[in-house]
Chains A and B, each alone.
Chain A
Amino acid sequence: MTSGSSASVPLPRLHPRAVASYVVIVVSLVLLLLPVLWMVLTAFKTTDEVFRVPPTIWPSEANWKPIAYAFSGSLPRFFLNSIIIAACTAVVTTVVGALTGYGISRARHWSTSALLMFFLASMAFPLPLLMISIYYLLSVLQLLNTYAAVIIGHMLLTLPIVVWLTKGFIDDLPVEVEQSAYIDGAGPLRILFDMVLPMMRPGLAAAGLYVFVTSWNEFVFGLSFTSSTEMRPLPAGISLLFLQEFQYQWPEMMAVATVATLPILLLFLAFQNQFVEGVTAGAVKH
């Protein structure tokens, strides 16, 4: 239990103010999670049932057809594409970003500070502007409509954050350990791989998770750098289904939305503690 700072002493549980706080907290929780609950509930209803007035809250009986639909047609392919793209982006971006982050943290110099500021600023670069030139590049390299095209897009989207996250993480690691190892005769590469890498594992996990989540959710690169159905990542594929074929099949669409959300939610639930620490420490410190 964390002791609060806005109240000097933790409130006893049945203090009127504590009771009022609990009420507000529970009401906000319900309100905030209601849309997600509605999505899941609708995914188990029949098309007849969702068009009933007044609406039913619980499905009158569990209808699994929408969920089955979410695993039919091109959707498994979209899933596979998203998994491949998100995993590759997470590995590549984390490695590249962590190397840069480590360098910036350890090599204190005006040039590395400038590089850090450049990465911060680059998050604001208008994406359509970047996409146009990258589209030209990719078409010259014959990479349009490949995984590599989308991975490149997602990498430039996430690299700045990974640099910032890992830089902040390494700032907290004592440099003395590395220095004394150097004095004892260890080479820089050995220091990096044998000493720094193991210490950085939680930071790398947080960064990798951030990249995976971002890549899984990203829509525009997936839409414009792929052109054939079998190369579409999940968000782009779903959006085209929604806009073209299934606009009014709400249970089916809610099932697809649920199934697209679920894997990332489970992954996030498993790792979010490290992640929250990484992100908030970064946000609060800088």
Chain B
Amino acid sequence: MWLILKHSPLTLALLFAPGLVVSAIFLVYPVINGVRLSLTNASPMRPIQRFVGLSNYTYLLSDRTFWEVLANSFVIVGAAIAISMVAGFALALLLNQGLRGTYFFRVAVFQIWVVPWISVAILWGWVFNADYGIVNYVMVRIGLIGHNLNWFADPYLARLVIILGFAWRMIPFMMVVSLAALQSISKEILDAAAVDGAGPWERLRDIVLPLLRNILVVMGLLQGVKLFQEITLPWVLTQGGPVNATTTLSLYAYKLAFQRWDFGLASTVGTLWLCILLVFALAYLRFFVSARND
């Protein structure tokens, strides 16, 4: 097919031009321009931009809020991904036993994946309501806690609520992808291991997990990157509070840009975020992929 396309520049242009134009204007240019803006005091409130050198960077890197927000992002996203991956994979293992009726379960659980974030946010506000929320009521009734918790006033509890919201929304996707991955393993290998006397736990640890590690790592990485961008929940539910306990890097950058209209500083946060992601992604992939090749 490549040969055909090579002889028809018009077809090639038709195929690639729209995608290339869109990505050049709305993906490549904004990143480059964003890095440039991070060196200015740009703001839609100001008619003239001034070059300010690295002062945005020195300001941010010496600001405690920035580091706190960065740590929040990693804690919240990391915990949510870990919880949803473990739960999703465990459910997939259960569903992969060939039991009858599990198709219904898969369909029912997967619906959670399309519940809009805004609905999750409002719902979480009600479920974790301090005085009338069902979570407090149930936990007091079964004796887990002595009195109602004020979930949104305590930094740790507020983070926990956000983590649970993220994780709950991600479990179905993790489950469905894990299930597809499990079903891609050939039965012969597992049967051979079973004949050699490997129990279910050994088969999981020594065969299934090593075989699926790359898929799971990529899944975790991609969904983690996606959650890093997600701000509906903290924005609507806690507005980033109490103080900055649930402000993630994306919410912080977003507030700087579209509430304080400080495009320069927000671009600096974005640029630093880009650098962090780059380092993090490289280290992550290198660690897992090279460990496999050893």
Binding site for B on A (CB under 8 A): 1-8, 10-11, 13, 18, 21-22, 24-25, 28-29, 32-33, 35-36, 38-39, 42, 50-51, 53-55, 95-97, 99-100, 102-103, 106-109, 115, 118-119, 122-137, 139, 152, 155-156, 159, 163, 175, 178-179, 182, 187-189, 192, 213, 216-217, 219-220, 223-224, 234-235, 238-239, 242-243, 250, 253-254, 256-258, 260-261, 264-265, 268-269, 272, 276, 279-281, 283-284, 286
User: In this complex, which of B109, B191, B258 has the most chain A Cβ atoms within 10 angstroms of its Cβ?
Assistant: B258
* CB–CB B98/A97 < 8 A: no
Given A6-B208, A25-B95, A261-B116, check contact A38 B190 (CB 8 Å): no
Give the complex CA separation of A24 and B18 in angstroms.
Answer: 49
* CB–CB A21/B97 < 8 A: yes
Known: A25-B91, A54-B141, A269-B111. 15 other contacts (CB 8 A): A4-B97, A6-B200, A6-B204, A25-B105, A99-B19, A126-B253, A130-B27, A130-B30, A156-B22, A189-B11, A216-B116, A250-B126, A264-B116, A284-B181, A284-B184
Give the complex CA separation of A242 and B25 in angstroms.
Answer: 35
* CB–CB A284/B1 < 8 A: no
In-complex Cβ contact of B118 among A32, A217, A269 (8 A): A217
Give the complex CA separation of A221 and B127 in angstroms.
Answer: 27
Q: Interface readout for B88-121 with A: 1 if CB under 8 Å, 0 if not? A: 0001011111111010010111111011111101
* CB–CB A192/B91 < 8 A: no
User: In this complex, which of B14, B114, B229 has the most chain A Cβ atoms within 10 angstroms of its Cβ?
Assistant: B114
Which residues of chain B are within 8 angstroms of A55 by Cβ–Cβ distance?
A: 132, 134, 137
Which residues of chain A are within 8 angstroms of B235 by Cβ–Cβ distance?
A: 219, 239
* CB–CB B99/A18 < 8 A: yes
Give the complex CA separation of A10 and B178 in angstroms.
Answer: 19
**Nearest CB of chain B from residue A86's CB, rounded to whole Å:** 11
Which residues of chain B are within 8 angstroms of A29 by Cβ–Cβ distance?
A: 105, 108-109
Which residues of chain A are within 8 angstroms of B194 by Cβ–Cβ distance?
A: 8
In-complex Cβ contact of A102 among B15, B102, B267 (8 A): B15
In-complex Cβ contact of B18 among A96, A109, A189, A268 (8 A): A96
Which residues of chain A are within 8 angstroms of B247 by Cβ–Cβ distance?
A: none
Q: Which residue of B lies closest to A125 (CB)?
A: B31
The 8 A-B pairs with the shortest beta carbon distances in the complex, nearest first, are: A129-B270, A100-B19, A280-B180, A103-B15, A133-B30, A128-B253, A4-B98, A10-B98
* CB–CB A5/B190 < 8 A: yes
Give the complex CA separation of A280 and B19 in angstroms.
Answer: 24
The SS class assigned to the B binding surface is helix
Which residues of chain B are within 8 angstroms of A250 by Cβ–Cβ distance?
A: 126, 129, 132
Which residues of chain A are within 8 angstroms of B117 by Cβ–Cβ distance?
A: 217, 219, 235
Which residues of chain B are within 8 angstroms of A129 by Cβ–Cβ distance?
A: 30-31, 34, 253, 266-267, 270-271, 273-274
Which residues of chain B are within 8 angstroms of A134 by Cβ–Cβ distance?
A: 26, 30
In-complex Cβ contact of A155 among B16, B22, B44 (8 A): B22
User: In this complex, which of B26, B271, B274 has the most chain A Cβ atoms within 10 angstroms of its Cβ?
Assistant: B26
Q: Which residue of B lies closest to A219 (CB)?
A: B232
Give the complex CA separation of A17 and B194 in angstroms.
Answer: 17
**Nearest CB of chain B from residue A263's CB, rounded to whole Å:** 10
